[in-house]
Amino acid sequence: MATTPTSTNLDINSIVSQLMTVEQRPLTALAKKEASYQAKLSAYGSVSGALSNFQSAISGLSSTAKLQALKATPSDTSVFTASASSIAIAGVYSLDAITKLAQSQKLAATGQASSTATIGNGTLTFDFGAITGGTFDAATGKYTGATFTSSGAGTKTVTIDATNNSLQGIRDAINTAKIGVTATIINDGGASPYRLVLTSDSIGKTNSIKVSVTGDTALSNLLAHDPGNNTGQSLAETATAQNAEFKVDGVSVSKTSNTVTDVIQGVTLSLQKTTATPVSLTVARDNATIKSSVESFVKAYNDLNKILKDISAYNPETKTGSILQGDSTVRMLQAKIHSVLNTPVGNTGGSLSTLSQIGVSFQKDGTLVLDASKLNAAITSNFSDIASLFAATGKASDSLISYSSATSATRPGSYAVNVATLATQGKAAGNFNLNAGLNTIAASTAINVTLDGTTASVALTAGSYTASQLAAMVQSAINGNTSISAAGSSVTATVDGSGFLTLTSSRYGSASGVSLSDGSGTAVSAFMGTTTSTAGVDVAGTIDGLAATGSGQFLTSSAGNSTGLKLLVSGGSTGVRGTASYSQGYAFTLDALATSLLGSDGQLSGRKTGIDNTIKDIGKQRDALNQRLEMIEKRYRAQFTALDTMLSSMNLTSNYLTQQLTALQNQTRL
C-alpha cells in the first residue's frame, strides 16, 4: 500500500511573500512617481486658483467706473439724495428751494351699489397728456375751460365684455392689461359705497389720464373722461398730476419725476420733500475709492506673487526645493506678468503711461509698493488719466465723436477718423398747412404706417384739432400701436413754420424709415397733403484710412489694427474729424492674460491635462503590473508546492531505506 507523503514543514507562504516583496518593487516606484505627479497637479491647481483670484480682484479695474468716480454729497439728505457719474463736473451747487414734488394723478368714479353687478360692455381707450388752462373745482374734481394735450406716448385699450363687465372685472381687466394705470376699489361707506379709483403709474403733469369709451351707455357714463370737455368728465380728480418744481443755482426747473438725471450733468438727484430753505450739493472727486482701487491692485499682485514664489522656491538652509522649483510654466507666468507691468501703456491720450507715475513700483523682493503721496499728487493733477492706466479706454479728439467699444481684435493705437456721410433719420413730410384752421379727423379713421420696417394699421382718434393737437394725437396713436411699440420703434411728430406735419423715426440709419398710406375714414392727404418719405442713411467714413462699416450713428472699423473699434458719430461736419485713440491698461491686459492662461486651451490647463494623462498612464501600468504579479505569485506557489511534495516523497524514501538498513543490521547480529 502506497504511503502518502507528509509535509516537510516548508513555509511556502513566507518564502512566496518574501519573493513577491522583491517583485513588487516596481509598484512602489510607480506609487512614488504617481504621488509626485499628484503633488504637481495639486500645485498647478493652487497656481490656477491664485491666478483666478487675482483676475477676480482686478476685474473691476478693467472698466473706468471706479477710477473716474465722483462723490455727490447733499447738505441735508432728508431733502434730497444724489449720486454722480464720471462725466459730472466737480463743484458746489445750490438747490434754492423745492416747491413741489412730482406726483401721479388719481381719478375716482361715482359710487356703485355693488362691485359684482353687471355695468356694461365696450372698449376703454386711455391716453396720457397735460391739462392746461381753465379752472379746477376741488369740491367736484372737475375742470372748466381746460385743454388736454396728448403727450404722444401712445394710447392703450382695454376690452370690457361679458367676462369682466362688473366693477371688480373692470378693475382686474385694467390691471391685467398693464397699460400704465392701476385700478383699485374703495368702499366709502355710503349708500353706493364702491368707487373705482384710477391712478397713473407715471408721475408728472404730462401723465394725466383721458379715457374714451365706445360701447354701452352705462360703461361710458361711469368712465368716459375728457378733462378738455366741460361736460365729458365722468371721473373726479382727487390728486392732480404735477411736476417737481425747484431751483438750481437760481434757475427754475420743472421735471416730471422726483428722480432727476438731466439738470446737473452726470448727477442724479432724488428729491425727498419740499423746502423753502436752500440746501447745497457738493460734487467732488471720490479720491477714497480711487486709492482703494489702486491699493487693491497692488495687494492682488503681491498675493499672487507670493504664492508663485513659495510654490517654486528653493530653501538653501534645508537644501530642499518646493514642488514646482524651476518649473518652466511658473517662470513663464511670472515673466509675462512682469513684462506687462514693466511696459508703458501706449496711446492713452493723456499724460500717464506707467505705474510709477502714480506711485506704484517694484521693490527688491519683487513685490509692489504704493507711495500714497505720489498717488495723491497724480489724482490732483491727472485725475481723468488714471483710468487709462488700468482699463481699456478710448478717446476722440472731436467732441461730437465718442468711443463706444472695441473687440479682442482691436489693437491699441491712435487712428485718424474721416466722416464721409452723417447718419440721418427716416421721415415722412407733408405739405398741407395745418395752421389754416381746425383739422377734422372722421370717426373710424385708420391709416397704414410703415415704421422702421414694421407695418401696422393705426387708429386715429376722431375730433377737431389745432396743428399741435393733431401732431400730438397722430404721434400718440402711432407710438401706442402694439406692433410698432413691440418692435422698439417710435416717431416724433412736429409742425414747422408753414404748418406742415413731419413724422420722424427715433432711429438713425438705413433701418430707419416712415411711410403712410390710406386706411379707412379720412385720407392721409387730408392732414398731410402730398407725403414725401425719406429713408434714413447710415454714417459712412474711414478709420485709420481704411473702410469702416456704418450702422446708424455708429462707425465700426473692419480692417487693420483698429478692427472692431466702434465710434458714435453724433453730429458735426463731414471730412477729417481728428483722431480716436484706444489703449489697454494694466488691469485689462492682465485680465486678458489670465483668461488666456486659464482657458481650456491655455498653458496652465494644458500643463494640468498633461500631468493628469501621465497619472492615468501610471494607473494603467500599475494595473498591468498587478496582473503580472498575480501570475508570478501563482507560479511561485506552484513551484514551491511541487518542491515541498518532492521533498516529502524523498523524506519517505529516506525513512524507508533507514528502516530497511536497520532491520538488515539486526538480522546480521543474530
- pLDDT tens string 419-429: 999 999 999 99
Residue 207 and residue 319 in one domain: no
Q: Cβ contacts of residue 147 below 8 Å, gap of 6+?
A: 131, 132, 133, 134, 228
- The x, y and z cell numbers of residue 574, run together, are 463731414
Pairing mode of beta strands 106-108, 194-200: antiparallel
Q: Which domain holds residue 232?
A: 106-242
How many residues in the chain? 670
Q: Report residue 600: phi and psi, to 5°.
A: -60, -25
How much is the pLDDT for 7?
54
In a domain, 630, yes or no: yes
- Of 60-74, 380-394, 555-569, minimum mean pLDDT range: 60-74
- pLDDT tens string 518-539: 998 888 999 999 999 999 999 9
In a domain, 65, yes or no: no
In a domain, 6, yes or no: no
More confident residue, 569 or 43: 569
- Average pLDDT of the segment spanning 493-506: 96
Residue 516 and residue 448 in one domain: yes
In a domain, 614, yes or no: yes
How much is the pLDDT for 657?
84
- Average pLDDT of the segment spanning 490-509: 96
Residue 406 and residue 463 in one domain: no
Residue 116 and residue 222 in one domain: yes
Residue 547 and residue 406 in one domain: yes
- The x, y and z cell numbers of residue 367, run together, are 513685490
Taking a C-beta distance cutoff of 8 angstroms, is the pair 322, 309 a contact? no
Neighbours of 562 (CB within 10 A): 28
How much is the pLDDT for 6?
52
Q: Cβ contacts of residue 670 below 8 Å, gap of 6+?
A: none
How much is the pLDDT for 1?
43
In a domain, 527, yes or no: yes
Q: Report residue 326: phi and psi, to 5°.
A: 75, 10
How much is the pLDDT for 234?
96
How much is the pLDDT for 133?
93
Q: Grade residue 599 by pLDDT with cuts at 50, 70 and 90.
A: confident
In angstroms, rounded to a whole number, what is the distance separating the alpha carbons of residues 430 and 529? 6
CA distances to 156, 232, 460, 583 from 152, rounded to whole Å, are 12, 21, 12, 43
Number of domains in the chain: 6
- pLDDT tens string 159-192: 999 999 999 999 999 999 999 999 999 999 999 9
310, containing H or E segment: helix 287-311
How much is the pLDDT for 73?
95
Pairing mode of beta strands 320-321, 314-315: antiparallel
- pLDDT tens string 466-484: 999 899 889 988 988 889 9
In a domain, 432, yes or no: yes
- Average pLDDT of the segment spanning 296-309: 90
Taking a C-beta distance cutoff of 8 angstroms, is the pair 270, 258 a contact? yes
Q: Grade residue 5 by pLDDT with cuts at 50, 70 and 90.
A: low
How much is the pLDDT for 9?
67
Specify the 3-state DSSP secondary structure of 5: coil
In angstroms, rounded to a whole number, what is the distance separating the alpha carbons of residues 6 and 254? 117
CA distances to 62, 396, 424, 592 from 587, rounded to whole Å, are 5, 22, 38, 9
Q: In what order do the strands lie in the sheet with 279-285?
A: 251-255, 244-248, 91-100, 279-285, 70-74, 80-84, 267-271, 259-260
The cell 521533498 sits on which residue?
Answer: 647
Q: Cβ contacts of residue 364 below 8 Å, gap of 6+?
A: none
How much is the pLDDT for 556?
97
Mean pLDDT, all residues of the chain: 90
Ramachandran area for residue 468 (φ above 0: left; ψ -120 to 50: alpha; else beta): alpha
In angstroms, rounded to a whole number, what is the distance separating the alpha carbons of residues 663 and 241? 139
525, containing H or E segment: helix 525-528
Residue 353 and residue 469 in one domain: no
Exposed/middle/buried for residue 32 (C-beta within 10 Å: 0-12, 13-18, 19+): exposed
How much is the pLDDT for 607?
82
How much is the pLDDT for 611?
83
Q: Could you tell me where the DSSP H helices lie in 184-249?
A: 217-223
In a domain, 5, yes or no: no
Q: Which amino acid is at 599?
A: G
In angstroms, rounded to a whole number, what is the distance separating the alpha carbons of residues 149 and 147? 6
How much is the pLDDT for 8?
58
- pLDDT tens string 249-299: 999 999 999 999 999 999 999 999 999 999 999 999 888 888 888 898 899
Residue 135 and residue 30 in one domain: no
Angle, CA of 328, 334 and 340, to the nearest 5°: 135
Residue 238 and residue 249 in one domain: no
Neighbours of 134 (CB within 10 A): 14
In a domain, 45, yes or no: yes
Residue 111 and residue 210 in one domain: yes
Residue 410 and residue 431 in one domain: no
Residue 558 and residue 636 in one domain: no
- C-alpha dihedral sign at 520, 525, 526, 527: positive
Specify the 3-state DSSP secondary structure of 650: helix
Residue 574 and residue 634 in one domain: no
Q: Grade residue 326 by pLDDT with cuts at 50, 70 and 90.
A: confident
